[in-house]
């Protein structure tokens, strides 16, 4: 008799709760509320789990991802107390290259075996040579972490879907030119769809290299008449937009991803990242 397939964990990205986790009490209450909503795990960011320079916080805020001031808190203790598992730790590639032992130690402290690179800042994803160099850097870094049992994953945004002179996207080039034994992927379905790519097709193409899935829905909650027929799409709660959420989660489940991770930076119901998470959690509980 075969054992049933283990479903992916229902998880949330730490950046969604940055503004409501800046003190120990608020962080503890927020994590408890997430657990009550049905989340089983969280994905952490290195720069949100330790003191961070003002420049880094300002950069993320400009990008529409306010991270709050919770870096001074004891996140290993807070997460352990909440009962949530840690599915991954985000770190920048430069830190992984310069401090591999420290990155491994932090991942182990949180009980995760996944370290994620979340794309490159001030990087030309339309430059074929630069993309090739990035693929080699990722492979080298991934091999270094693998020696300690850590898997390196690459997380996409939209820039990776720029076309190179060869006609391929930068994302396709990174997938083709990285060592599949050293580098996996954390596919962000929302950003892929925003860039005009098909998340379902990407899941099929990447197959078992997808270890984690980022998801949010995409649409609009505007009510009433509009000046023109053109309405700007934005992130919205799962099940309230136009992305094929059920199909994406089903495909990721079939690929044995470890977790489906909710991440929304803004446009929350009632301006509340927690209320937004609770609405999306209803869909995740139905699907997972």
Question: Do the domain assignments include residue 194?
Answer: yes
Mean pLDDT, all residues of the chain: 93
Give 40's contacts (C-beta < 8 A, 6+ positions apart): 9, 10, 11, 84, 85
Question: Do the domain assignments include residue 28?
Answer: yes
Quick one: what percent of the chain has pLDDT higher than 90?
A: 87
The dihedral sign for the CA sequence 245, 251, 253, 259: negative
Which pLDDT does position 51 carry in this prediction?
Answer: 76
- Which tens digit of pLDDT belongs to each residue from 77-86? 999 999 999 9
Range 220-231 average pLDDT: 92
Q: How many CA atoms lie within 13 A of 94 on its CB side?
A: 3
Range 143-164 average pLDDT: 97
Distance CA 246, CA 225 (A): 30
Q: What CA–CA distances, in Å, run from 260 to 122, 240, 252? A: 28, 18, 8
| Closest by CA position to 8, among listed 243, 211, 237 | 211
Q: Which two three-digit tokens encode residue 269?
A: 């119901």
Residue ranges of alpha helices (H) inside 111-185 are 128-146, 170-177
CATH of the domain at 175: 3.20.20.150
Question: Do the domain assignments include residue 3?
Answer: no
| pLDDT exceeds cutoff 70 at 61 | no
The dihedral sign for the CA sequence 192, 197, 201, 204: negative
- For residue 18, give its domain range: 9-287
Distance CA 214, CA 259 (A): 9
| pLDDT exceeds cutoff 60 at 229 | yes
Beta bridge partners of 13: 43
Which pLDDT does position 1 carry in this prediction?
Answer: 40
Question: Do the domain assignments include residue 185?
Answer: yes
Q: What CA–CA distances, in Å, run from 193 to 217, 244, 245, 260, 282? A: 10, 10, 12, 16, 22
Distance CA 211, CA 158 (A): 19
Range 23-41 average pLDDT: 97
Number of compact structural domains in the chain: 1
Radius of gyration of the chain, Cα coordinates, nearest whole angstrom? 18
* Consecutive H or E run containing 102: helix 100-110
| pLDDT exceeds cutoff 50 at 2 | no
- Which tens digit of pLDDT belongs to each residue from 277-286? 999 999 999 9
| Closest by CA position to 192, among listed 177, 176, 179, 203 | 203
Provide the pLDDT confidence category of residue 3 given band limits of 50, 70 and 90: very low
Q: Which two three-digit tokens encode residue 66?
A: 């306010």
Q: Supply the DSSP string of 221-277, one letter for each residue.
A: ---S--SSS----EEE-TTSSSS-HHHHHHHHHHTT-SEEEE---S--GGG-HHHHH
Residue owning tokens 């379902």: 200
| pLDDT exceeds cutoff 50 at 204 | yes
| pLDDT exceeds cutoff 60 at 287 | yes
Question: Do the domain assignments include residue 1?
Answer: no
Range 223-229 average pLDDT: 92
- Which tens digit of pLDDT belongs to each residue from 239-275? 999 999 999 999 999 999 999 999 998 999 999 999 9
Higher-pLDDT residue of 174, 1: 174
Residue owning tokens 């990205």: 13
Question: Do the domain assignments include residue 131?
Answer: yes
């Amino acid at each position: 008799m075969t054992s049933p397939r283990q479903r992916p964990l229902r998880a949330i990205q730490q950046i969604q709760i940055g503004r409501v986790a800046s003190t120990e009490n608020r962080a503890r209450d927020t994590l408890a509320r997430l657990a009550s909503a049905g989340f089983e795990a969280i994905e952490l960011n290195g720069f949100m789990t330790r003191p961070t320079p003002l420049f880094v916080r300002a950069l993320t805020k400009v990008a529409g991802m306010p991270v709050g001031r919770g870096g001074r808190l004891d996140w290993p203790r807070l997460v352990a107390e909440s009962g949530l598992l840690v599915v991954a730790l985000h770190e920048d590639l430069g830190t992984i290259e310069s401090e591999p032992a420290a990155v491994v130690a932090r991942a182990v402290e949180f009980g995760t075996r996944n370290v994620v690179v979340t794309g490159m800042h001030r990087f030309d994803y339309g430059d074929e040579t630069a993309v090739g160099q990035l693929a080699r850097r990722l492979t080298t870094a991934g091999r270094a972490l693998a020696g300690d049992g850590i898997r390196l994953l690459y997380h996409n945004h939209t820039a990776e879907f720029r076309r190179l002179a060869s006609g391929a996207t930068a994302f396709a080039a990174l997938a083709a030119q990285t060592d599949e034994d050293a580098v996996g992927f954390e596919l962000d379905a929302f950003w892929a769809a925003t860039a005009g790519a098909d998340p379902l097709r990407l899941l099929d193409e990447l197959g078992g290299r997808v270890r984690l899935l980022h998801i949010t829905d995409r649409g609009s909650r505007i009510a009433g008449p509009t000046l023109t027929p053109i309405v700007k799409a934005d992130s919205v709660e799962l099940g309230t937009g136009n992305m094929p959420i059920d199909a994406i989660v089903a495909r990721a489940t079939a690929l044995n991803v470890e977790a489906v991770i909710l991440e929304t930076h803004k446009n929350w119901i009632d301006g509340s990242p927690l209320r937004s998470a609770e609405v999306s959690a209803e869909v995740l509980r139905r699907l997972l």
